Every structure is written in structure tokens, then in C-alpha cells.
Structure 1
Amino acid sequence: MNPDELLSRYNAGERDFFLIDVNGVNLMGATLRAVDLTYANLSQTKLVQANLSRATLHNANLQGVDLHHSNLRGADLSGADLMGANLVAANLSFATLTGVDLSGANLSFVHLMGADLNGANLCQVNLLGADLRGSLLIGANLSRSNLSRCYLFEADLSEANLEQVNWQSSLYNRQTCFPEAFDPEQIGAYLIAPNVSLAGLDLSGVNLTRENLQGANLSQINLNQANLCWADLRDANLQGANLSEANLSGANLQGANLSQTNLEGANLSGTTMPNGELHQCALIQKPAGR
């Protein structure tokens, strides 16, 4: 089907384009809101600045598609093949991306707030400056991806593959250039890998269940209300860190530096603590019943 026929039928009220083949066509700026493109072949299609909000792209072939600055807010892309896709600055907020293959894709400055990326393949993906607030990345493959400057407040990274990720950590400033509508005043919160330095960052509320933080420099970090259940914090530097009301149940803190660490109200049940160092904490867990 050629693009003119597709748009003509859509404008006439048709929304069901199941299994359609529009491989490699130009649909730049097209409006296809709430369209059903289940199992459609859109590989190499140009959809720059297209409006596909609330569209259904379940199991669609989107290899190499150009969705630069497109609107996919609330879209269903579960099971879609997005290998090598260009999604720079695209809006995928609250989209469903469970099990998608995004390996090799460019998602720099993409908006993924509240998106469901559980089980997604994000191997070697560029997520520079991406907004991942409240996103679900449970079991996602993020190996060898670029996650520098990502905003990850309340993101769920449980059981994610974080091997060889680029963890460059720096705060945004007024001189940093961002795409339109991206707020440079926001504080960047970053994914974590062994021996990384995240001193002084704000990761309050983040879910890092079972993550490997061994040897990480987390001095002065804010992990208030963070979920660090069963996390590996062996030999980590937590000097002056805020872990108030954090869940550290089952976490391993053997050899960690807890000097002046705030553990007020933290859940320390089953936690492996460094010998004789709790007395150095600025505030420790309050006794039950007080």
C-alpha cells in the first residue's frame, strides 16, 4: 500500500490496518492517532514528527524506522522489532514496550516517563539524556548501553542486565543544550555499576533491588526511601549518605563505609553489616515501639 492510500483511508475513518506493508515509504508528519498497525511492516519507514499516539503497533516490524521527534504517547509497541530505530527526542511516555527489541537503536533525549519496558532488549542502545521517570525496566537487557545523564527517579531496574553500561554521571546545568521541552533544571539520576562514582546524586525512591553496587562511591548520595533489598553493597563508600526509610533488607554491606550515614527508619532486617561500624552512623534505625 502506498502512503497516499493509507492516509486517505485513515482520513475516511478506517483504523484497522492489520498486517499492512508500507516498508520504506515516507510518512513524515502523518497523523495516525489510535491506528491499529498490528503485525504491520514499517521497516525503514520515515515517520519523523508523526502522530501515532495511542496507536497499536503490537509485533510490528519497525526495523530501522525513523521516528525522530514523533508522538507515540500511550502507544502499544509490545513485541515490536525496533532494531536500529531512530527515536531521538520521541515521546513514548506511558507507552507499552514489553519485550521489544531496541538493540542498536538511538533513544537519546527520548521521553519514556511511565513507560513499560519490562523484558525489553536495550543492548547497545543510546539513551543519553532520556527521561525514564517511573519507567518499568524489570528484567530488561541494558548491557553496553549509553545511560549517561538519564533521569531515573522511581524507575524500577529490578533484575536488569547492567553489564558494561556507560554510567557517566554529571548534573545538568544552565549551559547544557537540550531538545525543546526538555528541562535542564532537572537533576540527573543514574544507573549504577560496580565501582562507579555517584557521589552526591539524588536517587531518592529508586528501585535497585538485587543490583550489584559493590565498591561503588555513594558518598553523600540521597537514597531516601530507595529499595535496595538484597543489593550487593560490599565495600561501597556510603559516607554521609542519606538512607533514611530505605529498604535494605537482605542487603550485603560487608566492608562498606557507613561513617555519618543516615539510616533513620531504614529496614535493616537480614542485612549483613560491617563489623563494629554501626556506631559511626549519624542516625540508625529506630528501635521498634519507640
Structure 2
Amino acid sequence: MNPARSTPSPHPSVPSPPHPQISHWITSLAIFILLHIGCLRGDLSVTQEPRLCAALKGQSALLGCGYTADGDEKVLRSVFYWALRDPGQDPTVIHPDPPPRYRERLGFVRASGGGGSSLRVGPLHLNDTATYYCYISFLVGEQSITQSGPGSQLFVYEPLVLTAQRDCMCNIQCETRVGNRSAVRIAWFRGGVPVQEEETARTSLDPGEGDAHRVVSRLTLFPLDSGSRVNYTCVLQHSEAGIIDWQEHIFHTAVPQHPVILYVLLLTSSICILILVVIFGLAKPSRCRCR
């Protein structure tokens, strides 16, 4: 008796694709190994521009990367990688295999000459504030070289919001939200002159906002004379980039209106009374003396 044979399935089984998270880990591990192998010497140096980029939330930032070769050997291949690198930690690769929070927000632009590239990040989030490092893997002759650039700092912030009290003109407030509050401060100018006396309050946002921070500065106003006009400006200053945003507000007090009509009435009444007194004084009847 012949053993029963299993009937082959008309549709062969197709292996399911690996989980996206596992695929990202594998790719990141391969790139991490690539970044740490090769000869980290040679006459090639990686350049990055700009060194610091300050951009508003929702906009895009363009970070450039290139290299210079001092030797006579020709570069046969150059592969670009982008990563975030915190002190004491391994690099976190964001290109060519971006983590979930960067997906659909990164673009890679290769220069026409082939010697450089740019990474476009956008629309920007506040927690995109970081230092972005460009790695290039070179093939020079038969030698493999991997070099890292000096890094490009990206600082993301929200526009300054200036609020002034309309009822008392006693204080003015300026605030913003940033990804890293340690690098910025809010300063005040009165009529173009820096204000020395100011009260600045900085508080972190609730944990639901991630790494964002709220920076608030309140300035107490001096009493203004009548008819004066003073321009107050709050500026957002970065420790390295200088002034990156500003807002201004003009305070002016009206000149008190004199009661002209009342003055005219009082003057007219005084003249009328004087005229009446003169008329009645001249019209007094003369008295006859009887003998």
C-alpha cells in the first residue's frame, strides 16, 4: 500500500517581511559598524555648513556637508550618513534609515558635482534641536576611510509673543517656547537702550510636551509722563547666534485736553459782570440837597 502523499499547495508560502522596527535596528547596526571601521586617517576632511542654524517651528532647515581632499589620490566613492551623537553615547543614525520621529521629514539632496550633499529637515519640531553630524565613507584607491564632520547645531523655536496690559500699563510680558532653554534668554530694550532691571521667569512645560520649554520674561514699566512715547522691544538672544527674533510695542500717553469751552464761558461771564457793574455805576441818580 502506497503511503499517502500530501498534495502541494498551489500557492507557495511567502515569508512575511521583517518587522519595521527590527529592520531599522539591523540597518542602524550595520551603519554603526561601518562608521567605526576603516582607517580614520588620511588627507580628507569633512566640512559642515552652517555651524549653527536657528529656525522657526514648522519651517525647514538645510544642513550642508562636503569634504576637502589635500592629497593627489582620487576619491572613487563617497557615501553620506547623518547621525545624532550625544556626549558619551553611540551615534543615532537618522539617514539613510531614519527613526520613527524623523520619517517623512527628511530629504537628501546630492550636489550636482558629487562632492557634497545637504540634509533637509522639516517641518521642524521643537525637539529637533540637536547637533547633527555628517559621516562620509570614502574609497580612496584601495583604502577605506570614514570621517566625521564637526557637526551642525540646529536650534528650533517658536515666535516671540509680546503682551502688554492695556488697563494699567504697569508691566509687559514676552514669551516663547524652545527646544533647549539653556542656550537662550530674553532681553529688553527701551528706546534702543538695554534695560538693566528686569524680572525673568523660566519654567518647563508639562511632560506631555516632550523636550520643549517655555521661556517667559516680565518687565515692570516706569510711570510715563503725559504726552510721552516709548518703544519697548523684547529680543530672543542665543548664546552663539546672537539675536534670532524680536517683538516691539510702543506705549504713548495722551496730552490732557484743556477745557477750552469752560475757560471761554468763565471769561465771558467775567466780562459781562464787569460791564454790568460799570453801567449801573454810571447810571446812579444824583441826589438833591434840601435847604
Q: TM-score range by the shorter chain?
A: under 0.3
* Greater relative contact order (CA < 8 Å, ≥ 6 in sequence): 2
More strand, by proportion: 2
TM-score between the two structures when normalised by the length of structure 1: 0.23
TM-score between the two structures when normalised by the length of structure 2: 0.23
More helix, by proportion: 2
* Bigger CA radius of gyration: 2
